A and B are shown apart, each in its own frame.
Chain A
């Protein structure tokens, strides 16, 4: 078995999409998280910081936001403003998941 590893080297692992929720304070620090600990913390922090940045930029454009919904092909990020911090929900999207037409965008 070791022989095969030497011959082909190790293949890059496929990054699993996160699922769960995180709470971030106004300084961009994760306060609570239900996302699997196998998911890199640095990426979770990147999600939180970018969301906080979007809330701040909207405020500075005089368009304060209460909710933000980012739809990627395979992931949906819903964030609620929380007195400077944010509560973020992360849902992976399946290939055939219909476009949401219900209560939220």
Chain B
């Protein structure tokens, strides 16, 4: 009888498979995941092929997968796993701090994307997320809500009286929304907090989101009911889309300029020039008087480098960075509009690249 009970208990213990090509990291993961309350069985593998073979032979609840691996990389493994094992929960644990990989992983349907550095710093939060994923089937629920807007998702969380933290990403921009017992209590993005942050987040038309464990002790900055907030945000979005009166158009332009200047100052850039394709609008600049000159140069750089890329078959152009004596420049060419962002000399290169990406992503939002 005791043996039968033990067997039943063993069966309810979930199994986690960790895939990483670094043996030391696998050992560390075993140690870090050991305190999980549900006491899951933890297995480790060092190659994508071995992981797939193991998933075929045994039922697992969760796959924790690295991205950068030799032969078969993490994205390839996840693409196969999604088709073959649709019920398997997937977590990406990567050292690659690039938003592109986060987006690609979420596009493949992973449940959670976490950076290795964050995992070591916020171990408890990571464990809570894993515990929540392991127990999700018990609570019931469906997967796949790709066609729902952010407003729908927030409404769903509030209607079900959930407590969670929504982490929302749109390219390089990130935001967090704290929901406690079905009420939005706080939000934060791009240096704004509270209701202003909610309005900014709801204006985003696309992106990815993930649910993190609730933070009940979070300070409340939003007192309004969620329906009032959503209604006000929808009205603001409608009004900005239907500006027709000349006076309100002028006000709108003024408001946008002030907002963009604030953005420029907050990030610490010297200037931004947005350059539409020839004949499709006039260049717009903030922080510089040499708009036409800089716009012409940006166009030339975008054209020359794009043509060069096609000729040497180097793939799409991502960006061009230039260093001068008195400033650093970054050019982001795109089909519709190119951007030139100027920075003071001496600022850390990696930092200004990330800041520039954020600036460009926010510029027309």
Docked pose: A46 CA to B352 CA in angstroms = 29
Q: Given the known A-B contacts A73-B316, A96-B67, are A53 and B304 also in contact in the complex, defined by CB atoms under 8 Å? A: yes
Most buried by A among B307, B320, B329, B354: B320
Q: Which of B2-10, B197-205, B289-297 contacts A (4 or more CB under 8 A)?
A: B289-297
Q: How far is the CA of A50 from the CA of B318 in the complex (A)?
A: 17
A contact residues around B313 at 8 Å (CB)? 15, 17
* In the complex, chain B residues whose CB is within 8 Å of the CB of A9: none
**B315 contacts which of A43, A69, A72 (Cβ < 8 Å)?**
A72
Interface size range on B against A: 35 or more
Q: Which of B318-345 contact A (CB under 8 A)?
A: 318-325, 327-330
Does A98 have its Cβ within 8 Å of any Cβ on chain B?
Answer: yes
Q: How far is the CA of A64 from the CA of B313 in the complex (A)?
A: 28
Output the least CB separation between A13 and chain B (Å). 12
Partner of B319, one of A53, A58, A71: A71
Are A99 and B309 also in contact (CB < 8 A) when A53-B304, A74-B315 are? no
**A73 with B314: CB separation less than 8 A:** yes
Given A58-B324, A69-B321, A96-B68, the answer on whether A46 and B312 have CB atoms closer than 8 Å is yes
Q: Which of A73-105 contact B (CB under 8 A)?
A: 73-75, 95-96, 98-105
Query: A101 is contacted by which of B294, B300, B353 (Cβ under 8 Å)?
Result: B353
What's the interface size class on A, roughly?
35 or more
A78 CB to nearest chain B CB (Å): 9
Known A96-B67, A101-B350, A103-B349: A64·B308 in contact at CB below 8 Å: no
Tell whether, in the assembled complex, residue A47 and residue B308 are in contact, meaning their CB atoms are under 8 Å apart: yes
* Chain B min CB distance to A75 (Å): 4
A72: contacting residue among B67, B318, B329, CB under 8 A: B318
Are A61 and B297 in touch, CB under 8 angstroms?
yes
The answer, yes or no, to whether B214 is at the interface (CB within 8 Å) is no
Question: Cβ of B97 and Cβ of A101 under 8 Å apart?
Answer: yes
Residues in A neighbouring B350, C-beta threshold 8 A? 100-102, 105
* B324 and A69 within 8 A (CB): no
Q: Report which of B100, B297, B307, B312 forms a contact with A63, defined as CB distance below 8 A.
A: B297
Closest to A44 in B: B312
The reply to whether A57 and B321 contact each other, CB–CB distance below 8 Å, is no
Contacts of B311 in A (CB 8 A): 43, 46
Indicate whether B26 reaches chain A with its CB closer than 8 angstroms: no
Chain B nearest CB: distance from A32 CB in Å?
20
Instruction: Tell me if B322 and A74 are in contact (CB < 8 A).
Output: no
Cβ-neighbour of A98 out of B98, B322, B352 (below 8 A)? B98
Query: How many whole Å from B186's CB to the nearest CB in chain A?
Result: 30
Chain A residue at minimum C-beta to C-beta distance from B357:
A99
Bound CA span A31–B276, Å: 38
The interface residues of chain B lying within 8 Å CB-to-CB of A66 are 323-325
Alpha-carbon gap, A74 to B323, bound state (A): 22
Partner among A50, A74, A96 whose Cβ is within 8 Å of the Cβ of B308: A50
Evaluate contact between A67 and B300: CB separation under 8 angstroms.
no
Return B326 CB to nearest CB of chain A, in Å. 9
Instruction: Pick the residue among A15, A46, A70 that contacts B317 (CB under 8 A).
Output: A70
Q: A98 to B100, alpha carbons, bound, how many Å?
A: 10
Give the contacts of B198-218 with A (CB-CB under 8 A): none
- Which A28-63 residues have a C-beta within 8 angstroms of B? 43, 46-47, 50, 53-54, 57-58, 61-63
Residues of chain B lying within 8 A (CB to CB) of residue A50: 304-305, 307-308
- List the B residue with the shortest CB-CB distance to A17: B314
Q: Note all chain A residues with C-beta closer than 8 A to B351.
A: 101
Q: Please tell me if the beta carbons of A47 and B312 are within 8 angstroms of each other in the complex.
A: yes
Q: Say which residue of A64, A71, A95, A101 sits within 8 Å of B320 (CB atoms).
A: A71
Is B96 part of the contact surface with A, judged by Cβ < 8 Å? Answer: yes
B308 touches A99 (CB 8 A): no
Most buried by A among B101, B308, B314, B354: B314
Are B301 and A54 in contact, CB atoms less than 8 angstroms apart? yes
| Contact call A70/B305, Cβ cutoff below 8 A | yes
Contact A61 B293, beta carbon cutoff 8 Å: yes
Pairs A–B under 8 Å by Cβ, sample size 13 = A46-B312, A54-B301, A57-B297, A65-B323, A71-B317, A72-B314, A75-B314, A99-B353, A102-B349, A102-B350, A105-B323, A105-B330, A105-B349
| Closest 6 pairs (CB-CB, A-B) | A73-B315, A101-B350, A105-B321, A72-B314, A75-B314, A69-B321
